[in-house]
Chain A
Amino acid sequence: MKSFRARILPGRMIGWALLLLPVIFSLHSKLSAQEYPYFVTYSQEMEEPGNLDLESFNVQGNPRGGNSFLGSDLEFEYGLKGWWTTEFYLDGQVTQNESAIFTGFRWENRFRPLPREHWINPVLYVEFEDTSADKTLREVVGHDANDDFLVPNWLAREDKEREIELKLILGSNVRGWNISENFIAEKNLAGDPWEFGYALGVSRPLSLIAKAHECAFCLEKFRVGAEMYGGLGDADGFGLHDTSQYLGPTMNWTSPKGVTVGFSPQFGLNNYSIPVLFRFSVSYEIEQVIDRFRRGAK
C-alpha cells in the first residue's frame, strides 16, 4: 500500500509543473543566457542578482539487474547578491514496475569570495538535503554504485538521508572555454563517515561571435563540452577503489525565447557504474523577478 505522499505528490508536482511552464514561457522575456551544459558539475557562475532560474533536470538509467528509472528535480535558483546564490530543489523519481515517488528536497547556497575574475575562481557551496530513495544522481560520492539502484522503492524509502554537502568549486574561463572542477564532501547526519567525490566539466560555445541578425539555430546558441564525475571513497578509505565513474559529452541549445534545453549521454567507466545514463534538462530564467511583482502590484 503506497503512502498518501507517494501516490499524490508526484502527480501533483507534474501537474504544477505543467501549469507553470506555459505561464513561464509566455512571460515577456528575450534573455538567451548561455548556460553551461553541465548536469553534475557546478561552474563559478553565479545567478544574476534578482533573477530566478527555473530548471528541470532529469536522468534516465537502466541499472544492471534492476528496473529502469527516471529521476527528476525541479530547481528554483535565485541570485540574492552578486556573490551569493541560493537554490531550492524538489526531487522525485519513477521506477519501472515499482512506483513514482517524491523523494525529498535540497537547499543549497553558493558563495563567491573573490569579487574579480582570476585564472581560477573559487566558489564555496553548502547544501542540506532531506531525501530518501533519491535517483537524481546530481552527484556521485563515496561508494555509490549500480547496486544501490536495485533496492526497491518501498524499502529504499525507509532509509532517510539527511545530509550536509560541501563543495569547493573552481572555475576558469580561457578563450571562450569554461573549465570547472568540483571537490565534494558529503556527510550523512545519522553518523556515516564523510564521503568524497569530484566532478569535472569543460565546455565552449560553437561560435564566440554573435550574428547581426536574430536566428534560432546560430552556432553561438549551442554550447558543447564533456563532463566526468565519480566517487572518491570515504573517510575510512579514500581513493578510486570500489567507486563508480562516469564520462560523457554534453550540449545545450538556447532558444530565442530564452528556454535552454540540454542533453548528455553519460557512460559508466567500470562495473560499479550504471552502464549508461541519459540526462536532459530544460531551464528558463526570469529576470528581476521581484521587480515584476512590484510592477504588477502597481
Chain B
Amino acid sequence: MKRRTGTCLASLLVLGSCVLLFAGSNGAWMAEVPPKDRTRTNPYANQPDAIAAGHRIFVDHCAHCHGADADGTKKRPSLRSEHVQQEATDGDLHWLLVNGNRAKGMPSWIKLGDPEIWQVISYVKSLH
C-alpha cells in the first residue's frame, strides 16, 4: 500500500514538473494573459510614423537579443514567427512587454510607457 502511494506521489511529481516545464516554454506566457488584456487594441496600429518610431525603439532596446532583423538569436526567439505574428494579439504582446517573462530572460519594459510599447508592437506586427 505504502509503495503504491509512493509511486502515485512520484508520478504526480513528474507530471507536475512536466506541466511546469511546459508552462515555462516559449509561448506559454500567452496562457497567462487575462482576456481583458488580450483584447486591447493598439491605438497606433499600421500608422507609418508609429512603425518608424517603433523601429527606433526596437533597435535601441530589443535588437541585441532578438536580432537586428528580429529573426532571433541563438538564445532568444524570432519575432517573425507565426506564434508572434499570427497567434499573439497586440494585446498579448502589450501584456508581455509590460510584465516580461523573467524566468526566460525577458525583462519588463513598463518603463517605456504605454505609447512607446504600442509603437514597438506596431513595428513588430509590420514584419509579417
Contacts and interface: CB of A to CB of B under 8 A. Distances in A.
Given A31-B64, A210-B119, A288-B64, A112 B111 contact: no
A33 B64 CA distance: 12
B56 interface: yes
Interface residues of B, number: 33
Shortest 8 CB-CB contacts between residues of A and residues of B:
A82-B102, A212-B52, A208-B113, A287-B64, A210-B53, A176-B113, A212-B49, A209-B115
Using C-beta atoms within 8 Å of the partner chain, give the interface range for chain A.
20 to 34
B26 to A, nearest CB: 15
B121 to A, nearest CB: 13
B127 interface: no
A82 B64 contact: no
B38 to A, nearest CB: 15
A220 interface: yes
B106 to A, nearest CB: 7
B113 A205 contact: yes
B88 interface: no
B114 A117 contact: no
B101 to A, nearest CB: 8
Contacts, number: 79
Given A82-B105, A117-B98, A212 B114 contact: no
B30 interface: no
Contacts of B114: 175-176, 208
Interface stretch (A16-24, A45-53, A136-144): A45-53
A34 interface: yes
A100 B112 CA distance: 40
B107 A210 contact: no
Interface string B38-53: 0000000000111011
A158 interface: no
Interface in A214-250: 214, 220
A31 B112 CA distance: 13
A213 B52 contact: yes
B73 to A, nearest CB: 9
A188 interface: no
Interface string B64-92: 11000000000000000000000000000
